[in-house]
A = this chain, B = another copy of it.
Amino acid sequence: MKNFFSFDDVKDINALLETALEIKKNPFSRQEVGKNKTIGLLFFNPSLRTRLSSVKAAYNLGANVWVLNAGGDSWTLEMGDGTIMDGNTQEHINEAIRVMNTYCDVFGVRTFPNLKDRDYDYQEVFFKKIMSLATKPVVSLESATLHPLQSFADLITIAEHKPPKEKTKVVLTWAPHPRVLPQCVSNSFAQWFTKVDWIDLTIAQPKGYELSPEFTKGATLEYDQNKALEGADFVYAKNWSSFQNYGQKLDVSENWTIDSAKMSLTNQGKFMHCLPVRRNVVVTDDVIDSAASLVIQQAENRVYSAQTIFHELLK
């Protein structure tokens, strides 16, 4: 593994999952790999869960860690080639990335979509520029369109709770939200879970909310949420803005909030969400507070997801 940007960087997902489960069992057992190594974490977008879980992952691995929050106007980077930098941009990304890479052994970066220019976002211009400049392995802490550490944590969680049958039915369902959100978590979930051989993925969404086909190929798309939920072993709720009407919030007349009536359609399904979650908008209190809810376990598995990837890149 050279970088960790998407599922495509994973050679053998079942082997990687095995490693993660072993690391979770003995989180401090491979500290010779992290000794005297430094994980650098650069956030162009603020973070709580990703930051703390990545820091904990570094500590578990016996590595050092630094965090740099580059959001806001505090540090304006020039992206253009050939620019005469006599304006507001203070540093060219060419120097910024290469300099930061001299101060770490693995380089985690979070970027974000503008949700206006779909081509720019989906070509991952910014993140790919960073990877092209980096001299150390780069780990996506979420990019414009993907969030692979979240998907890997979700996979660990599902593997721990899957029923003893050949094929596990996982449903990713769109859910309401008051704000306009990126498609990262959902794209990434689709990309990963269509490629795990023991999982059948169904994606339920209102008309107009179909995710990019580049990620959903191999999944069953469904516009009737109730029908999608039938027999589900896992229900993963998540809001996202429209891919077709890029970055838009569309009118949805049906109620897509996950409640206990909907959960009763499943095969005693578990409820999942990447957090933070809007209670009683995405999911009702009784579902998220029930024994079937795995949201805290998912958050905890963010540590082992990150730790396994750091371990792969440093070993």
List residues of chain A with CB under 8 Å of any chain B CB.
Answer: 27-28, 36, 38, 40, 46, 48-49, 52-53, 55-56, 59-60, 64, 66, 68, 74-75, 78, 81-87, 90-92, 94-96, 98-100, 102-104, 178, 275-281, 285, 289, 295-296, 299-300, 303
Q: How far is the CB of A62 from chain B (nearest CB, A)?
A: 9
- Among residues of B, the one whose C-beta sits closest to the C-beta of A40 is B52
The answer on a CB contact under 8 Å between A99 and B49 is yes
Q: How far is the CB of A138 from chain B (nearest CB, A)?
A: 16
Q: Inside 8 A of A303's CB, which chain B residues have their CB? A: 102-103
Q: How far is the CB of A256 from chain B (nearest CB, A)?
A: 13
A48 with B68, Cβ < 8 A, contacts A84-B281, A95-B296, A280-B84 known: yes
Q: Inside 8 A of A281's CB, which chain B residues have their CB? A: 84-86
- Among residues of B, the one whose C-beta sits closest to the C-beta of A176 is B86
Q: How far is the CB of A9 from chain B (nearest CB, A)?
A: 25
* Complex-state Cα separation, A66 to B87, whole angstroms: 34
The answer on a CB contact under 8 Å between B66 and A38 is no
A95 with B280, Cβ < 8 A, contacts A52-B100, A56-B66 known: no
* Complex-state Cα separation, A95 to B84, whole angstroms: 46
| 10 CB-based A-B contacts, threshold 8 Å | A40-B52, A52-B100, A84-B279, A92-B277, A94-B279, A99-B300, A102-B296, A102-B299, A102-B300, A103-B303
* Complex-state Cα separation, A91 to B280, whole angstroms: 12
Query: Which one of B27, B66, B104, B279 contacts A92 once the chains associate, using CB atoms below 8 Å?
Result: B279
Query: Which one of B38, B52, B81, B91 contacts A56 once the chains associate, using CB atoms below 8 Å?
Result: B38
Q: How far is the CB of A308 from chain B (nearest CB, A)?
A: 16
Q: Inside 8 A of A49's CB, which chain B residues have their CB? A: 99
- Among residues of B, the one whose C-beta sits closest to the C-beta of A99 is B299
The answer on a CB contact under 8 Å between A276 and B68 is no
* Complex-state Cα separation, A48 to B278, whole angstroms: 33
Q: How far is the CB of A271 from chain B (nearest CB, A)?
A: 13
* Complex-state Cα separation, A96 to B277, whole angstroms: 10
* Complex-state Cα separation, A75 to B48, whole angstroms: 9
A66 with B55, Cβ < 8 A, contacts A102-B299, A280-B84 known: yes
* Complex-state Cα separation, A64 to B303, whole angstroms: 15
The answer on a CB contact under 8 Å between A295 and B56 is no
The answer on a CB contact under 8 Å between B46 and A83 is no
The answer on a CB contact under 8 Å between A38 and B59 is yes
